[in-house]
Amino acid sequence: MATRKIAVIVGSLRQQSFNRKVARTLMLLAGPELDMEIVEIGQLPLYNEDDDATPPASYTEFRERIKGYDGVLFVTPEYNRSVPGALKNAIDVGSRPYGHSAWSGKPAGVVTVSPGVIGGFGANHHLRQMLVFLNMPAMAQPEAYIGGVAKMFEGDNLTNESTKAFLHSFIDAFAAWVERHAD
């Protein structure tokens, strides 16, 4: 298997969010076939189509950076049964101007994380709807809804062994998915 560069997009902007901790755990569990790094999204101004003619430098940098990856792993909380505004904004910035999406064709994985019981089910499926339009083949199985996450960490360390085993199987499946679908 070739080494594939993976953008990890964390939907929560908090530096100590459970989503960021799960993303870092996945990065540690990944085999050498995945070269993963978190791509920050909090610096992006709100997308405005009026800026397409002369986009802010942060838009251009973000789009070019995303184009350099072989796949994308989204790790996000659920806000109001959908994805957080910062994540939706990053998706919009990367998908424009129309016809020049940085996301197109990149295999994707989705992990949703929540202190609640249902593990971000609404956000997971809403994000998958967006990925269809973005022409990003999304890994269907295993689905990843990490509920009750507030009781799973001591500091930055995931202490729930069954969740750690699941995340390990998820990242292995994601590596195979990327290899199968990356250009």
Tell me 148's DSSP state.
Answer: S
**Token output for 95:** 């998908």
Pinpoint the alpha helices (H) of the chain.
18-29, 57-67, 85-95, 121-133, 161-181
CA distance 3 to 97: 30
Give the range of the structural domain holding residue 128, as residue numbers without chain letter: 4-181
44-61 burial by CB neighbour count: b if 16+ within 10 A, else e? beebeeeeeeebeeebee
Beta bridge partners of 75: 10, 111
Residue range 127-151: mean pLDDT, rounded = 97
Percent of the residues in the chain that have a pLDDT greater than 90, as a whole number:
95
35-82 pLDDT tens trace:
999 999 999 999 999 999 999 999 999 999 999 999 999 999 999 999
CATH number of the domain within which 74 lies:
3.40.50.360
108-131 pLDDT tens trace:
999 999 998 888 999 999 999 999
Instruction: Judge whether 172 and 31 are in contact, CB under 8 Å.
Output: yes
Average pLDDT along the chain? 96
Number of domains in the chain: 1
Instruction: Judge whether 65 and 109 are in contact, CB under 8 Å.
Output: no
What end-to-end distance do the CA atoms of the chain give, in Å?
13
Residue 127: which of 142, 144, 115, 152 has the closest Cα? Answer: 144
Sign of the CA dihedral running 156, 88, 136, 121: positive
Peptide bond into 107 cis (omega under 30): no
Sign of the CA dihedral running 15, 16, 18, 23: positive
> Is the pLDDT confidence value at 1 over 80?
no
